[in-house]
Structure formats: structure tokens, C-alpha cells
Amino acid sequence: MSTESSSTVARVLKPTILILIAIVAISSRLFSIIRFESVIHEFDPWFNYRTTQHLVKNGFYDFWNWFDEKSWYPLGRVVGGTVYPGIMVTSALIHNVLHFFNFPVDIRNVCVFLAPMFSGLTAFSAYLLTKELKDSSAGLLAAAFLGVAPGYISRSVAGSYDNEGIAIFLLVFTFYLWIKAVKTGSAFFGLLTALFYFYMVSAWGGYVFITNLLPLHAFTLLLMGRYSNRLYVSYSTFCAVGTLLSMQIPFVGFQPTRTSEHMAALGVFGLLQLYAFAELVRGYIPPKQFRALLKGGIVAVAVIASIGLTILSFSGVIAPFTGRFYSLYDTGYAKIHIPIIASVSEHQPTAWTSFFFDLQMLIFLFPAGVYLCFKELKDEHVFIILYSVFASYFAGVMVRLMLTLTPVVCVSAAIAYSTLLDTYLETSEHVLASTKPAIAAAATSAPVVIEATTSDSKATGKKTAAKAAAAAAAAAKSADAEAKTHAKSAASSEKKRFPIFNLDSRLLVILQLTWFLFMFAWHCTYVTSGSYSSPSIVLASRQQDGSQMIIDDFREAYYWLRKNTKEDAKVMSWWDYGYQMAGMANVTTLVDNNTWNNTHIATVGKAMSTSEEVSYKVLRQHDVDYVLILFGGVIGYSGDDINKFLWMIRIAEGVYPNDVKETNFFTPRGEYKVDHDATKTMRESLMYKMSYYRFAELYGSGNAVDHVRNARMPAEGPTLSVLEEAYTTENWLVRIYKVKDLDILGRDLKDSTAFDKGRVRKISSLKKK
Amino acid sequence: MRASILLSTLAMALVAQATSLTGLRTLVLLDTLDDVLIYTELWSDLEGRHFNLTLNDVSTPVSLTKYDRRLYDHLIFLAPNMKEYPKGMNAKEVIGFMAEGGNVILAGSSELANPLRELSREFDVEFDNRYTSVLDHFNYDKELGQAKHDTIVVDPSSHMSKIDAIVPQDKLPGPILFRGIGHSVNPKNSLLTPILWAPQEAYSWESVNLDESADQDPLIAGKDISLVSVMQARNNARIAFLGSTDMLSDAFFSASPKKQGDKETVSGNRKFIEELTKWTFQEKSALDVVAVQHHKVGEEEAPAHYRIKDNMTYTISLAEYHEGEWHPFSADDVQLELIMLDPYVRKTLEQLELNDQSTVGTFTTTLQLPDQYGVFKFMVNYKRPGLTYIESVTTVGIHPFRHDQYPRFISQAKPYYTSAASMGVGLLVFSFVYLWGGLDSTVKTTKKA
């Protein structure tokens, strides 16, 4: 095979492989659609879907100025100014383009399939990025890894219509452009970096990662004494254009100039200018004077900068770090200060096992890849090292940030893997060249090696012998049968020397690596299908006979709300279900997953955790018509509201310490109980009453058992007077209660409920006066 | 506006026959049908006002509702001895009847039996023990209460509430005669209003064995004894509690009350009962919101939503029903509130001047909306004793500025505009000079070297 023909083959093969990778990436994300249907998943995607619908229906400017009266009643939400519009605009654009060409695709399908489509692009950008770091074969591996890595699939299966779905593509692509810019020193690539950075800012709050990583890279290069005009041009272009562009997103606004999170970018920008200036000055004055000038200059700049920064921070021009940011340093911070952040499961620290679960063998190859980067240590390798260090830290702190780690793991694992393959598979000149001294060494020690190998196949673990064997192996791969013609002379001589030994060790390693690849693919598919493809609005469970049972209570309840309540009905629920209710039931909600107003959420928490009388006042003040709760006690669904109840109590206590006290919900022995031992406060709380109202009737004669908490419930269930049961779904998963009006005769609702049950008032206190 | 005229003419057309707003079918429950003869004047008064009376004794089965619809519009209890409700009726039914908008008059006597006591208790009205009467040794009527001092003469000017919407004082020709049981009302129940109460010297005591010496204090005495109380429920159904069936009897209607040492006067009972039944049966003091309009100043139509700090006009038209017709309602204390959790604006509405053609009272105001976006309730919450409760809620969103409603150029930013412009010009000049200005870069490099 000639060089020419092999490069032609490669030219055909590479795009084919990339397309195949994209197809694999997309199709492995379609499990949920095949199993269930083309629906939007989870919680946040429902909001994105709803806003996208609004955007498609009413146009961009209406979306931009949308004031949503149906959420956060009665405060409302300025959607245009509190949203990252990237994903909505992207899908609306795709939708409109398709419609322009007369493909009548429903916007729902665009939304459902957006994340898988972008995963194909992500794989492609991983290819580009890795190609810049090593070569195109490593790039192909990285693309394949990122295409199927569960850490990324977890947020990008079909139907998971969330910001991360496109943001990871933008992240990787922006990094690729940045590396390209640093490598070439071209203002054009710097500009492209800024443009994609802008797209990223419009798509995901995680853009802060880029905002800090790129300056850090530039700063590190400065410290390493690698200042160059390339760096200066690329960074200055990126920083100036990128910052200005990012300020065009209303949600970001003036943050880039005012918050601490963004200061690094501006600081490094200033530093680069000073450095460039110093370089310029150095060219014009003698070194001695320059040194004095430099010292003075550094001191002056440091003093001015620190004084300026202090004044600005204290006067409030630059906002201090936000709570979310602190919780990245101290994982216990949120638990104490901001329960609302800590209550979100995806903000919890990552369990060790989930690293393996999400990345499988890549997590082992990852350090090797970083090590190889250290060996090369060009500008772009420094970047990957920084990226991997920081992403690893953040992924350890927060489950959600596994997502930012996954690309760099794939890239460096691909570098490691491809280096291994290069070593064991490829027979090319550069291997020969790099191993020339080794070959020389091997030549001298060859007899020893042969002796060792022949006399005892399991050679003693002598270092020299092992080294020699490695060198021999390195030489061996250059002696492959498919060796290139111009390497023939060297190869043939080697081939003569170790024919069998070479093939064995190579085969061993290669087969093992291939086996790893198979295992990886198998694991990825298994994880994707088993864990990440559940829409979470529809639950599937296995019955005793093994057949599948679909639990569709959520949609049943939302559909009931949609069809049976008046148009402007206000439904209160815990914030987790706000987006789904708005999207599916089209009702007005009090709080939702955009947790911007802690007080309002705490008010809902208070209504849930106080007695009926206190709660009723809150319900009336907020014009609540219905209350919706999740109750898993019947089928054993553990994510129900009683299990989330402690968070409601904690959040409510933060704002209303006089009305709600967490300790009152624990038994004297410090247990959280719902059965006979439940505390009085617990039993009188609205949430408890709503959850277990008429629960005992389901079983009869005191046999009621809560399957989630394994608690035997009292035979006499709670009574409700300010609410009446409106609807309970098939599996009791969702219960909806209607808030009663004030009694027409001015009695309190407890009395009127008692009267309706046939109990008349006994002689009242009036007489005893 | 046109709609309101239409509405009121429609209402007027209906009124040609009806005097009560809610209907004319009236059920009267009597202990025995023989009692019919006691109240002949009352019947003729009611029938003179077009009511269709159904007179039943308590043994006749009756149902108040059928298929969740009321079969009667008004209910009069003149059966204090009723030990059990007629078949097909119970306390829950009566309250359900009120919840559907029916009105009730409940009259008791010293023999008042348990069912009606328990019913009254649901309204926070507590009648005194059985066989007690309101006694007064100073204000008894010379003629009717000579024996037991149990028929008392109540002076409306001092012992009747001054709510003209229910019983206007100036229409009563004389004092009111009362013989029966007293009750107390729960002052915490804001829906309940005592209309007539006992003189200071009265007390409530067993009227059977008057000769036995009293060994304990009376449960209620003096002004705490309510004789007549009314309640307007939250759904505007009305109910009146009277401690005395005799008040409605022909004898009391035509009596000439005379306190000891006073001159003989004309009984005010007939007029009092007439006004009370008129109020209870929604023949007067019923209000209605005819129209609510709101719009931005300078516009006509109501917008889908407002913007913060908009100037807007709010108008509400109210009509009052009396004498079988809708009339314009007049008041100077109608207030508008803008509520989002808390009231942001509270303003008294001004009434437009009435003229001959007016059919409604129009209250209006112009105000500037608060600098706060959200979903606001424009609420007129007008609740006055005796009048129908008005609670008109219009929910409107107040939005923040649109992106193009901010000023495009602001004066504070002029330094920035200047710097941006000068930068652009500077770049142009520099480029020009650099490219064609004859700067010789080679000179520099040689120097440097």
C-alpha cells in the first residue's frame, strides 16, 4: 500500500467514522423514545419547552419581553430577563428553517431531538480538539468516547431538553477554538472563540467555567514565561469581544463587570496589557534601568490594584461571591446557609462510585492522558492539564458538574489510549526515530533478553530485563507485517530478531485494549438504557410476573387539572413540580424550579408544614385554589413529598422561625416518624394530613402500611377541614386538594366540617359568660 | 355602559311582578295549622307584596330542594315548639338552603325546642334556656304584660341599631312590643348584627315558677339580651332571629303599648316586621355590581395588561335594589385597593353626579400604578352592615418595561459615547497615517540595532 493511497483511504475513512460516531451518539440516546414516547422529560425541560412554544408562537421580541403571569403567582416572572435563551432560540431557529423548507415538524419533536443531535456535534468538536492536541486518530477516539460516555448522556438523552444539551457542545467547541487561536495567534480565531463564548453565555450558566478557565490558561502561560504575541492577540480579542457580547444577554447584564466570578478575566486582560507594555519598554531601554522600572511598576500596579479592588468590593460596585459559588468551596456551606440549594439532589457532592458509573474505563485512562500532556507540555497541553484539574475538583463537589468533567476525561483518555495503540499497533517512522537510542540499547542487551525469555518464559522481574523487554516491544511494533515500505530495512532486521515474541505481547495488549473498548461500549449502553433513559414523568416498574407496569400518575393528575379547573386556577405545590404543572396542566403556580425567590418558596413551605388554621391564612392570601402533593406510600415511590418534607421545613424555618421549628418534627429520640410515634406538630401539619388523609381506609382495620417509610399507620387517619380531596390518581402518587372557601355563616371551617358530618355544636361558650 | 342599561331595564321588567330580588316562593312552618289565624295581618302584608305563601305544619313532610335546586326562596319558622324537623328537612338542609341563596326568618318563644336552638347555634346565636323569658319590671306593657311583666316595651330610639339599611328608625310610629326568649350573639362573628336589644333593667329568667326565689344570677341581663338579630351570610343570603313569635301576631300589631307611667302609643311592630322582612327577603338594601371598567388614561378599551407606572382609570357602577326597582347607589366611602399580597394603593372612589337618566351609581378614580410588577387584584371590597357585600375583583398583570421602552440614549452615558466615537475616529486616522503617512519602519529597526 502506498502512502498516497493510504492517505486517500484515511480521507474517506475519517468522515465516515465521524458520521458513524454521530449516528451511534444519536441512536444510543433514543432509548427513552422507543420505550415510552416522544415526550419532554424531567422538570426544567418542561419550562424550556413551554418557553420555546411561546417563542415559536409569538416571535422573538414577545419572548424577549415575556412577563409570565402564570408562574410565581402573584409576583410573576420576567422570563426574558431571567432565562438563558440559547436553547429556545436554537430550537425555534431549527423549527423555522425546517418549516421554511416545508418540513412540518412539530416543535415538540425539535425539542425532544435537540440534545441527541447536538451530541453528534459534540463528538465532532471533541475530534477537533483532540486533533489539535495529538493527532486525528486520537481525535476519532475522543469523538467516540464522548459520543457514548454516560456522564454526558445523562443530560442529553432524547427528551431531556435542557441547557446542558447544547452547552457541552459549545463548551468543547469554544475550547477547540481557543486552542486554535492560541496556537495560531490569529485574531480571527480569537473572534470565533468570543462568538461561541457568546453562544455559550446565552445557553448555560456554566459559561462561568470558560470565563475563568481561559484567563487561568493565559495567566499560567505568563507565569511559565511563555508570553507570546499569539497569546496576546488571541486573549485580548477573546476577552474584549467576548465580554461585550456576553453583556447582551439580559440575564447576565452587567455581571461581567460587577461580580467577583468574572473579575479574573478582566484582571488577566489588564495584566496581559501591562506585560505587553513591559515587553515593549524592554526593547527600548537598557536592562538595568528596566529592572528598576519593572520593580517600581509591579509594586505600583499591585498597590493600586489591591486598593482599587478593596474599595470597589466594599462600596458594593463589585458584588462578593454568591452563595452558589461558596458552596463550591465548602460543601457544607449550602446546608447551613442556603437550604434551597442544598435541597437539590444534583447539588450534592459526588459519590465515588458515580465516577466509574459515568466514565467507566476512561477514569483510569484519564490520569495517563494528563501525564502524557505533561510530557508534551505545549501551550494547548497546559490548557488540558488546567481543565482536567479544575473539572475534577468541581465534579467531586457537585454531581451536576460531572458534565463538565466528561469532555476532558474523554479527550485525555483518548490521548492515552491512542498513544498505547500507537505504541503497539502502528509502525511508522516517528516511533522508530524516537526509539532509536532504545533500539541501540536493546541491541546490546538483546542476548540477555533472549536468554531470559527462552530459559524462563516468566522472566524474573529484573528492572533491566523489563526495560529491555519494553524497548524490544517498542522496536517490535515497528516490525509489523504491514510495515511501510521505506522502513523496510530497519524493520526487516528487527523482524528477524523477535518475530514471535513481538506478536505475542502486541496481541496481548491489543486484545486487552479491544476488550476494554467492548466493555466500555457495553457499559455505556447498559447505563444509558438502565439509568438515564427514564423520562421521570412516566415511571416503569416490574410486576411480580416480570411484566412491565407503567405508572402514569403524574400525567393523569396534570390532565385532570387541565380539564377540571377553571382557567386561572392557582395550584400550590412544592417547587419541584412547578414547571411540569405549568407545562402540562396549564395552571398558575406559586413556585417553580426557577428558585429565584426564597421567601416565596419558604411561604409555601410554611403552608405545608403548619397547622390547618395557620396554613389556611397563607392559602387565602395567595388565592390558592388547589394544593397538589406527591405521595408514594401506596406504591413505594420514595421521591414523594413526605421525604422532601424536611427540606420544606428547613427552608420555611429560615424565613419564618416563629411559625416553623424543625425540632418539633422529630420525636424526643430524634427520629423522623410518621406512624404512631409522630410528633403532634407532625400530625397536625398540612402535608402530613394531606398525605395520609383516608390512607387507612385503603387497607382497613388498622393494617395501613406506608411502603416508603415502612411505617404502620394509625387506624384513625387525619381529618381535614380547610381542604377537601379533589382528586387522587390511580396509584395514589399524586393527590390534589381543593381549598375551601370561608364558611358562609362565619364559623371556622373545623366547625362547619364537623356540622356537615352531622355533629351539631354543643352549648357554646356564650352562655358561660 | 349600554350593557348596564339593558341589564337594569331587564331587571325593571322583572320587577313589575316581583318585589323580592331572589324570588317569591315562601314556606311558612307553623306548630299547628290553627296558628294561621294568629298572624293574619302578617299574611296579608306579605301577600300584598306578592309573596306566594305555603303554610305548613311541622308534621307535613316537605323538602326545600330538589335536584340541587331550591323549591322555595324564603323560609319562615313560626314553630317554636317544633321537637323534630318535618320529614325531609334537617339543620343541614336549612343551611344548605341558605348556601343556595335562600333567606330565613326564625322566630322563637320561651318554649323554643331543641332543633331550632341547635340551628341558631350554628349562626353563633344562643337562645337562653327553655322556659325562660325576658322580664322587665320597669318597662313592661301595662295591658299585655300585667301578669308576669314579660311583655316589654322597647324604645327603638335607644334600643335599636341605627342601621337604616335594615330598619330605618324614622319609619317606626311607636315603640316595639316583645314577649319571648332572649338570646346572646357572639361578638366575634362579624356577620351577625343585633337589631333590637332589651332595656337595661331587663333580665332573662324562667317564666313558669315566678314565685320561687331566685338563688342565682340570670345568665344574661340588660343590654346583653338580644331580642332581634340578623345575619347576612357571606353569600348574601339573609336570616333574622326573633325571640318572640308574638311580635308578628295580630294582637301585637294592633296593640297600643303603654309603659307604667307613660302615655298610650301606637305599636311599631307592624312597621318593624315589614321593614325586617323586606330586608330579609331581599326587597331592599341589595347591591349589585353592574359594570367594572378600567383602562389607561386616554384610551377606551381595557388593556390585556398594564405597565408599571401607567396612569389608569378605574370605574365601577353599582346599583341598589329597593321598591322593586334598581336605583343608582350613592355613597362616599367606596374604596379601590390594588393588592398583590398586600395593598399597594388604597383610594376612595369619587361618585359621578347623578342625573335623571342615571340608573347606576358610577364611582371612578384615576391613579398611577405602583412601580412594582406582578399580578395585581383591583379590588372593591365594600361591606357595610345591612347592605349586600360587594367584593369585586379584577385581576390584571402589571408588566415591567419592554426592552424598547427605555430611553435609547441617556445623558449620563455621554462620556462613553464620546470615547467610543473618538476611538473609532482615532483608529481610522492611525490606520491612514500608518499606511500612507510616510512613517519609515526601517529607520527604527536600524536605530534599535
Instruction: List, for residues A116-155, the tens digit of each pLDDT value.
Output: 999 999 999 999 999 998 888 899 999 999 999 998 998 8
Whether residue A76 lies inside any domain: the answer is no
Which of A75, A78, A568 is facing B395, going by the closest CB pair?
A568
**pLDDT tens across B365-397, in order?**
999 999 999 999 999 999 998 899 999 999 999
CB A622 to CB B397 under 8 A?
no
Whether residue A505 lies inside any domain: the answer is yes
CB A80 to CB B186 under 8 A?
no
B-chain residues near A622 (CB < 8 A): 341
What pLDDT score was predicted for residue A323?
65
Domains B20-280 and B286-403 share a fold: no
**Listing from the earlier edge strand, what are the strands of the sheet with A570-572?**
A588-589, A570-572, A626-630, A734-739, A723-728
What pLDDT score was predicted for residue B18?
55
The C-alpha atoms of residue B50 and residue B53 are separated, in whole angstroms, by 9
pLDDT surpassing 80 at residue A747? yes
What pLDDT score was predicted for residue A351?
83
**Distances from the Cα of B415 to the Cαs of A471, A534, B325, B412, B423, in angstroms?**
69, 56, 70, 7, 12
The C-alpha atoms of residue A378 and residue A231 are separated, in whole angstroms, by 13
**pLDDT tens across A476-516, in order?**
444 443 334 444 444 444 444 333 346 677 788 888 889 99
CB neighbour list of residue A603: distance below 8 Å, 6 or more residues apart = A590, A618, A622, A652, A655, A656
Whether residue A415 lies inside any domain: the answer is no
What pLDDT score was predicted for residue B29?
92
Q: How many domains does chain A have?
A: 2
A-chain residues near B124 (CB < 8 A): 745-747, 764, 766
pLDDT surpassing 60 at residue A703? yes
What pLDDT score was predicted for residue A457?
40
Tell me the pLDDT band of B440, cut-offs 50, 70 and 90: low
B-chain residues near A758 (CB < 8 A): 92
The C-alpha atoms of residue B229 and residue B236 are separated, in whole angstroms, by 16
What pLDDT score was predicted for residue A348?
77
CB A744 to CB B98 under 8 A?
yes
Answer yes or no: CATH 2.60.40.1930 is held by domain B286-403: yes
Which three cell numbers, joined as nine digits, stand for A278? 513591559
Whether residue A728 lies inside any domain: the answer is yes
What pLDDT score was predicted for residue A478?
42
- CA nearest to B2, candidates B359, B363, B297, B361: B359
Q: Which residue has the higher pLDDT, A116 or B1?
A: A116
The CA distance from A33 to the nearest CA of chain B, in Å, is: 38
B-chain residues near A75 (CB < 8 A): 340, 374-375
What pLDDT score was predicted for residue A412?
92
The C-alpha atoms of residue A129 and residue B247 are separated, in whole angstroms, by 99
The C-alpha atoms of residue B331 and residue B326 are separated, in whole angstroms, by 15
What pLDDT score was predicted for residue A81?
85
CB A74 to CB B340 under 8 A?
yes
- The three state secondary structure string of chain B is CHHHHHHHHHHHHHHCCCCCCCCCEEEEEECCHHHHHHHHHHHHHHHHCCCEEEEEECCCCCCCEECCEECCCEEEEECCCCCCCCCCCCHHHHHHHHHCCCEEEEECCCCCCHHHHHHHHHCCEEECCCCEEEECCCCEECCCCCCCCCCEEECHHHHECCCCCCCCHHHCCCCEEECCCCEEECCCCCCEEEEEECCCCCEEEECCCCCCCCCCCCCCEHHHCEEEEEEECCCCCEEEEECCCHHHCHHHHCCCCCECCCCCCCCCHHHHHHHHHHHHCCCCCEEEEEEEEEEECCCCCCCCEEECCCEEEEEEEEEEEECCEEEECCCCCCEEEEEECEEEEEEECEECCCCCCCCCEEEEEEEECCCCCEEEEEEEEECCCCCCCEEEEEEEEEECCCHHHCCCCCHHHHHHHHHHHHHHHHHHHHHHHHHHCCCCHHHHHHHHC
Which of A742, A755, A766 is facing B234, going by the closest CB pair?
A742
B192 touches chain A (CB under 8 A): yes
In terms of domains, do A597 and A526 share one?
no
CB A65 to CB B403 under 8 A?
yes
CB B126 to CB A764 under 8 A?
yes
In terms of domains, do A447 and A561 share one?
no
The CA distance from B258 to the nearest CA of chain A, in Å, is: 32
Which of B98, B124, B400 is facing A746, going by the closest CB pair?
B124
CB A69 to CB B190 under 8 A?
no
The residue among A58, A62, A63, A67 with the most chain B CBs within 10 A of its CB, best to mutate, is: A67
B-chain residues near A741 (CB < 8 A): 234
Q: Amino acid identity, residue A20?
A: L
CB B400 to CB A67 under 8 A?
yes
pLDDT surpassing 60 at residue A641? yes
Which of A65, A76, A80 is facing B397, going by the closest CB pair?
A76
Kindly identify which residue of chain B lies nearest to residue A70, measuring between CA atoms.
Answer: B375
DSSP 8-state assignment for residue A340: H
In terms of domains, do A685 and A557 share one?
yes
Q: Which is it for strands B374-382 and A626-630: parallel, antiparallel or unpaired?
A: unpaired
CB B92 to CB A76 under 8 A?
no
pLDDT, mean of residues A648-665: 88
In terms of domains, do A573 and A636 share one?
yes
Cα angle B372, B378, B381; round to 5: 130
In terms of domains, do A517 and A571 share one?
no
Kindly identify which residue of chain A lies nearest to residue B372, measuring between CA atoms.
Answer: A75
In terms of domains, do A601 and A695 share one?
yes
What are the boundaries of each domain within chain B? 20-280, 286-403, 416-448
**pLDDT tens across B2-24, in order?**
445 445 544 444 444 458 888 88
Whether residue A720 lies inside any domain: the answer is yes
What pLDDT score was predicted for residue A433?
43
Whether residue A72 lies inside any domain: the answer is no
In terms of domains, do A629 and A484 share one?
no
In terms of domains, do A454 and A499 share one?
yes
What pLDDT score was predicted for residue A496?
40
CB A761 to CB B118 under 8 A?
yes
CB B234 to CB A743 under 8 A?
yes
In terms of domains, do A454 and A558 share one?
no
Which three cell numbers, joined as nine digits, stand for B114? 331543641
Q: Which domain range does residue A744 map to?
A: 553-756
Mean pLDDT of chain B: 86
In terms of domains, do A486 and A628 share one?
no
pLDDT surpassing 90 at residue A311? no
B448 touches chain A (CB under 8 A): yes
Tell me the pLDDT band of A334, cut-offs 50, 70 and 90: low
Which of A61, A623, A756 is facing B92, going by the closest CB pair?
A756
First to last CA, chain A: 112
Q: What is the CATH number of the domain that holds A596?
A: 3.40.50.12610
The contacts found for A574-580 with CB under 8 angstroms, 24 or more apart, are A574/A604, A574/A605, A574/A608, A574/A629, A574/A641, A574/A644, A574/A648, A575/A601, A575/A604, A576/A43, A576/A644, A577/A43, A577/A628, A577/A630, A578/A71, A579/A43, A579/A44, A579/A46, A579/A47, A579/A50, A580/A43, A580/A46, A580/A537, A580/A554
B-chain residues near A744 (CB < 8 A): 98-99, 233-235, 237
CB A744 to CB B99 under 8 A?
yes
B-chain residues near A66 (CB < 8 A): none
In terms of domains, do A738 and A592 share one?
yes
**pLDDT tens across B47-94, in order?**
998 899 999 988 889 988 888 888 999 999 999 998 989 988 988 889
In terms of domains, do A569 and A465 share one?
no
Which of A65, A741, A760 is facing B91, going by the closest CB pair?
A760
Whether residue A522 lies inside any domain: the answer is yes
Give kind and range of the element (H or E) at residue A548.
strand A548-551
Whether residue A749 lies inside any domain: the answer is yes
The CA distance from B218 to the nearest CA of chain A, in Å, is: 11
Q: Amino acid identity, residue A367?
A: P
Q: Which CATH class is domain B20-280?
A: alpha beta
CB A76 to CB B186 under 8 A?
no
